[in-house]
Amino acid sequence: MVKVITYGTYDLLHYGHIKLLERAKALGDYLIVGVTADDFDKTRGKINVQQSLMERIEAVRATGLADKIIVEEYEGQKIDDIRRYGVDIFTVGSDWVGKFDYLNDYCKVVYLPRTEGISSSEIRAEKRKIRLGLVGENPLLLKHLNESVFVNGVEVTAVYSENAEILKEVNEKIENCKSFESLLGKCDAVYLVSVPRQHEKQIRKAIDAGKHVLVESPIATNPEIVRELFELARQHQVILMESIKTAYATAYDRLLLLIKSGKIGQVVSIDSVCTSLREKAPTLEERNHVWSGFEAWMPTALLPIYQLLGTTDCTEQFVSSFYDQQQHYDRFTQMNLIYPNAVATARVGMGVKAEGQLVISGTKGYVYVPAPWWKTDYFEVRFENQTDNKRYFYQLEGEGIRYEIAAFIRAINSVVNVSSIEEDVSIKIADAFDKYRRGDGLVKIG
């Protein structure tokens, strides 16, 4: 029996895929098809895959051409699979000529001619691009502009900002709108990085205009308003998604899965630190557009706490904030949260620098994520016996922003919210802002 193996993403399975599988099948008696996992696709730069792994596997199975379907999850797996299954022939499309010649040491390599004029990328590109408008004064706006070019199906068409430096950067590339309302007329969706107190008003206007919204966390500074905005989005059949780029990083996603699977036992403590320096405190006039340390960093610091310890069982919350009374500006804030069986600390600062690490302690071991943990591609799981320690590495492109944009576009196209941030987490983040604003459990220092 001659065994043949081939690999692919098989996103939006089309005639070209089927012809390639038919040619592969004709090379032998038994065809093994490897379908690449979502995480592995990300490491190869394929961030805009439209279908889930299971959908792609089912599409390949439905062709009736595969005798066996496996999942490709890591670099170097092809050699392992060839050895494991006793493969005689490895085959792939001719656009990869030369790429897999090294496999000739293990089996015969055959490059098959591809069907001209059709590909998943072309199919995705043929769909009408989502027109995205960018709003706000924060430099994150420019990062989203630059990262959007790596995502199929989206085009930034307009910007509304009062930041002269931002306008200088984008003026020659895209249209600068004079008002938020005029921007809404030039896009299908908006990304909001305006200061949090403007979010509610802008989100309501965008949803009422039938626009999808990606908004930098927090969605709003009151939990009841966040609930109302999510419901409003559902009524208008548009997507409302919270933006915390860390949530879309592969390493962070894998970290959560490992911990929830019990790798370090029961979580009893989380220490989350996010800080950055600022040359000087903003003037009162600048405060209209500048994010404070709490606004800029607390959502990210709280994300792993709420996603691992939950949003309903926190019994106490104490906050200490180093506050500049003259500038009405918080420089450094520490939030302590107490759960029935765990404790957590979130420390954030803008203008104060600390080691920006994440440490999650459990009854069997702990997870250490080095600074800056919010854009990590690496973390460690550590135990009492150091020989059991393990390091995990995952490629991170664009700090997670391009993955976030890709998820937003998938949500729009499918009208299903595929956010990596649960709705109850968004509401709880808003609750933390609400309590801070009202001074509940807050001690101001300075």
Indicate which CATH number applies to the domain containing 93: 3.40.50.620
Q: In this structure, are 112 and 133 located in the same domain?
A: no
Beta-bridge partners for 427: none
Give dist(CA 286, CA 281) in Å, integer: 9
With 0-12 CB in 10 A as exposed, 13-18 as middle and 19+ as buried, what is 237? exposed
Q: In this structure, are 108 and 141 located in the same domain?
A: no
Residue 162, number of CB atoms within 10 A of its CB: 11
Give the helix/strand (H/E) hosting 310.
none
Q: In this structure, are 279 and 207 located in the same domain?
A: no
**pLDDT at site 184:** 96
Domain boundaries, position 226 = 128-244
Structure tokens belonging to residue 312: 């309903």
Give dist(CA 241, CA 45) in Å, integer: 23
Distance of CA 106 to the CA centre of its chain: 37
Distances (CA, A) of 354 to 9, 83, 269: 42, 49, 19
Q: In this structure, are 90 and 59 located in the same domain?
A: yes
Q: In this structure, are 254 and 201 located in the same domain?
A: no
Q: In this structure, are 207 and 134 located in the same domain?
A: yes
Identify the DSSP state of 28.
Answer: S
Q: In this structure, are 115 and 189 located in the same domain?
A: no
Beta-bridge partners for 271: 345, 359
**pLDDT at site 54:** 78
Q: In this structure, are 40 and 157 located in the same domain?
A: no
User: How many domains does the chain fold into?
Assistant: 3
**pLDDT at site 70:** 93
Q: In this structure, are 199 and 251 located in the same domain?
A: no
Which position has the token pair 């043929």?
126
CA angle 311, 314, 320 (to 5 degrees): 110
Give dist(CA 233, CA 228) in Å, integer: 9
Q: Dihedral angle at the C-alpha atoms of 407, 410, 411, 413, nearest 10 degrees?
A: 160
Q: In this structure, are 46 and 98 located in the same domain?
A: yes
Sheet of strand 68-72, all strands in order from the earlier edge strand to the far edge: 68-72, 30-36, 3-8, 89-93, 108-112
Structure tokens belonging to residue 44: 């190869």
Identify the DSSP state of 239.
Answer: -
Closest by Cα among 135, 133, 131 to 193: 135
**pLDDT at site 48:** 66
Q: Which SS3 state, helix, strand or coil, does residue 157 take?
A: strand
Domain boundary among 76, 100, 122: 122
Structure tokens belonging to residue 421: 């941030």
CB within 8 Å of 256: residues ≥ 6 apart: 304, 307, 308
Q: Dihedral angle at the C-alpha atoms of 414, 420, 426, 432, nearest 10 degrees?
A: -170
Give the helix/strand (H/E) hosting 435.
helix 423-438
Structure tokens belonging to residue 412: 């729009």
Domain boundary among 225, 244, 263: 244
CB within 8 Å of 113: residues ≥ 6 apart: 23, 93, 94
Give dist(CA 191, CA 407) in Å, integer: 13
The enclosing domain of 303 has a CATH number of: 3.30.360.10
Structure tokens belonging to residue 406: 């890709």
Low-confidence ranges of the chain (pLDDT < 70): 39-48, 116-127, 171-173, 278-289, 325-328
- Written as one string, the DSSP assignment of 42-110 is HHTT-----S-HHHHHHHHHHHT--SEEEEE-STTHHHHHHHHHT-SEEEEEGGGTTTTGGGGGTSEEE
Domain boundary among 77, 99, 122: 122
Phi-psi region for residue 315, left (φ > 0), alpha (ψ -120 to 50) or beta? Answer: alpha
Q: In this structure, are 430 and 297 located in the same domain?
A: yes
**pLDDT at site 304:** 98
Q: What is the pTM of this model?
A: 0.79
CA angle 413, 116, 151 (to 5 degrees): 30
**pLDDT at site 399:** 83
Structure tokens belonging to residue 43: 């490491």
- Written as one string, the DSSP assignment of 197-236 is GGHHHHHHHHHHTT-EEEEESPS-SSHHHHHHHHHHHHHT
Could you tell me where the beta strands, DSSP code E, fall in 223-295?
Answer: 240-243, 267-276
Q: In this structure, are 219 and 260 located in the same domain?
A: no
